[in-house]
Amino acid sequence: MDKLERLTNLLLVLLSAERPMTLDEIVHTVEGYPAGKDARRQAFERDKRILREQGIEVLLEPVPGSADAQGYRIDPDSYYLADLGLSDDEQEALNLALAAVRVDEEAGLDAAWKLGAAGPPSGPVVAQASLPSTPALPVFHEAIRKRTPVEFVHRGARRRLEPYGLLFRDGFWYVVGRDRERDALRSFRIDRISGVPESVPGQTFTVPADVDWRHTMPAEPWSMGEGPTTVATVLVDPVYARTAEVQSGSEAVSERRSDGSVVLRLPVVNLDLFRSWVIEMVGHAEILSPPELRADLAAWVAPLAGVG
């Protein structure tokens, strides 16, 4: 039995447990644990750590009727989402969608159960997409569920955020919420967060009823901050054209060329973030104007390329 199957069975057993289960009860109920006492304890600790890393809280509680025994369980109320009230056809469509999207490693093993899926789809499905997972995601999931603020370092700056929700756009995860320092709705690309976010203890927040965070596009980092604005014209070739348009917004497109490339006009305030964005496209973008931004990028890249 592979690890994923054992984890799946462990999750189901702890979710359905009517009382906390001791380690001995768990290893005799869930197949796949080694026979030796120390080996099975180590295997269970690894499984428990994986579940907790994915935001699934494994509780350690006294076993009723026992003076000193401790047991494990997962609270269904904190795990499952509210009943979505899906019809049979809608549930089947949900199962098909979940089967067609694969999440990295063990991060997606419980997605169907959280959404109320009763089983796999009735027909064969080929995976069509893969969602990346990062150590920050479980922290944000838990903070969103409990409505607790989080602190993290994003592009070298310490931020404190009231997270309203998560968005997956163009291959990247974003967290959206109220930036407390700026008192404004902001989005942050999660893979650009340094380390693992930390919850702010003893504090909670509410999501304003009039805030539609689900339709918030990730903020263009080059336009954030204070100072003079320079309008940059950037040519992006077909390889990155769609990505660049999604990130900057269709209103930034000033020209669409026959080969699939686009010309963007972007208001630049933060030169460092603008330069980083162009460099991330690895030769698929060219600054057309103004000359000072072209010169700045050339001067910054020259030492890296060994140009004197």
Q: What is the CATH number of the domain that holds 281?
A: 3.30.70
Number of domains the chain contains: 4
Whether residue 244 sits in one domain with residue 215: no
3 state DSSP class of 129? strand
| CATH at residue 169 | 2.30.30
Same domain for 181 and 147: yes
Where is average pLDDT lowest: 31-40, 211-220, 297-306?
A: 211-220
Pull the structure tokens for residue 284. Answer: 């698929």
208 with 140, same domain: the answer is yes
| Buried/exposed code over 139-167 (b: 16+ C-beta within 10 A; e: otherwise) | bbbbbbeeebbbebebbeeebbbbbbebb
Residue found by looking up tokens 């979505």 in the block:
84
> Which of 219, 253, 285 represents a domain boundary (last residue)?
219
The pLDDT score that the predictor gives to residue 12 is: 79
Instruction: Out of 153, 186, 219, pick the residue that ends a domain.
Output: 219
242 and 260 co-located in one domain = yes
Alpha helices in the chain (DSSP H): 3-16, 23-29, 37-53, 76-79, 88-100, 111-114, 136-146, 238-248, 271-280, 291-305
Identify whether residues 260 and 214 lie together within a single domain. no
Residue 3 has pLDDT above 80, yes or no: no
- 172 and 155 in one domain? yes
Between the CA of residue 34 and those of 16, 186, 191, what are the distances in Å?
23, 48, 37
pLDDT value at 175 more than 60 = yes
pLDDT in tens, 224-283: 656 788 999 999 999 888 878 867 767 789 999 999 999 999 988 888 878 888 888 878
pLDDT tens digits, one per residue of 157-167: 899 999 988 77
Q: What is the CATH number of the domain that holds 50?
A: 1.10.10
Cα–Cα distances (Å) from 251 to 51, 153, 263, in that order, read: 43, 30, 11
Q: How far apart are CA 129 and CA 64, in angstroms?
A: 45
Structure confidence at residue 274 (pLDDT): 87
Tell me which residue range forms the domain holding 191: 136-219
Q: Are residues 10 and 46 in the same domain?
A: yes
Two tokens, residue 10: 């462990």
Mark whether 96 and 73 lie in a shared domain. Answer: no
Nearest to 268 by CA among 201, 206, 211, 220: 220
3-class DSSP state of 53: helix
Residues in the chain: 308
d(CA 186, CA 223): 13
The pTM of the whole model exceeds 0.75: no
- Is residue 231 domain-shared with residue 214, that is, in the same domain? no
- In terms of domains, do 21 and 61 share one? yes
Residue at which a domain ends, from 201, 219, 237? 219
